[in-house]
Amino acid sequence: MPQLDFLIILPQIFWLIFSFSFFYFILTYYLLPCFLKTIKARINFIKNNQIAESQLTFLILEKKQINLKKLIKLLNEIHLILFSNLFHSNFIFSKKPFKKNYLILNRKIISAAAYSIFFCNSTLLNTLKFYPLFLNRKKL
């Protein structure tokens, strides 16, 4: 058989070993470091994103706590104005320190009531008719 002839198979084995070793060295010394650099860069990118996310989460939680404390303080002031000063018989809203607070509080209560009535009332919302823009054109 000519395939197993010793003179034909030796050059094939030589070129097989040579080409395998050539591609092996190219892959290990040139391409593998590039792949490892990209993998390390991705890992560092993910770590940096996680650190940034944890810092932002911490800042958001701090701001949330500060806003919650301010809200509690303001609600306590409103409670004080409404329940302690409002029910006194001598309390007059036109006096200097309470006039501005009363007007602001009154405006906020009225706007909150209006928003809850107008935007949360399902009966009122069902009576409103909405049409596409092309139906609003005047008929010729």
pLDDT, block means (10 residues), the chain with 140 residues:
72 92 93 93 96 94 92 81 59 56 72 66 60 54
User: Exposure of 2 by Cβ count < 10 A (0-12 exposed, 13-18 middle, 19+ buried)?
Assistant: exposed
The pTM score is 0.42
Nearest to 98 by CA among 80, 114, 111, 110: 80
Backbone angles phi, psi at 39, to 5 degrees: -65, -45
- pLDDT value at residue 74: 86
Token pair of 117, please? 């009535």
CA distance 89 to 19: 103
- pLDDT value at residue 45: 96
138 sits in the region (left: phi over 0; alpha: psi -120 to 50; else beta) called: beta
Q: What is the largest CA-CA distance in the chain?
A: 123
Q: Are 76 and 82 in contact (CB under 8 A)?
A: no
The contacts of residue 3 (CB under 8 Å, 6+ apart) are: 9
Residue with tokens 């094939």: 12
